[in-house]
A = this chain, B = another copy of it.
């Protein structure tokens, strides 16, 4: 079974690269699906689950329950439960035996026994801001707000990573390949990374 994990700076195009690799290689693709599965299992709002997993241990997040945007209520499910559920879902994916790509969720660390190919995707700040500005979910934000959002999310990702794994987020020693997408169209880049992935799995057979 072949697993590719993609860790990434927010706005670097890691998700698009993951999708394109899945298309080229014929792998299953998991990203948002994992959040959805956790939210369903725990009866929580998806956005809450996502925020709790990205920011746990260093900030509190207002909770909306099942997409209701009434008065935010205090959460009673501790992030450790969500993390355990996330790990259990990742393990089920691994047990399914189907080749797949998993974006985010520290899957490189949580599935380390399966010896995945671990990619990290980054880009220059200006490109990341531009990519975010083109997204529906961020188009209401100003340039400065997007920049702050990118920095905040990546700071939290780095913290989460370092706490759960002891290995450094975004550091060369943690991944097989770090891809800087600056000046690339992801469409042009993806086949080269797919070629690398094929050789990676070929040597590990």
Contacts and interface: CB of A to CB of B under 8 A. Distances in A.
Interface of A: 120, 122, 124, 170, 172-173, 175-180, 182-185, 188-189, 191-193, 195-196, 199-200, 202-204
Nearest to A191: B199
A184 B185 CA distance: 28
Contacts of A191: 199
Contacts of A202: 188
Contact of A172 (B122, B196, B199): B122
A175 to B, nearest CB: 6
A184 B124 CA distance: 29
Contacts of A195: 192, 195-196
Contacts of A185: 203
Contacts of A176: 180, 182
A105 to B, nearest CB: 20
Nearest to A199: B192
Given A188-B199, A191-B199, A196-B196, A179 B177 contact: yes
A108 to B, nearest CB: 12
Nearest to A121: B172
Nearest to A181: B176
A179 B118 CA distance: 11
A184 B179 CA distance: 18
Contacts of A193: 196
A203 to B, nearest CB: 5
Given A189-B199, A191-B199, A195-B192, A175 B184 contact: no
Contacts of A184: 203
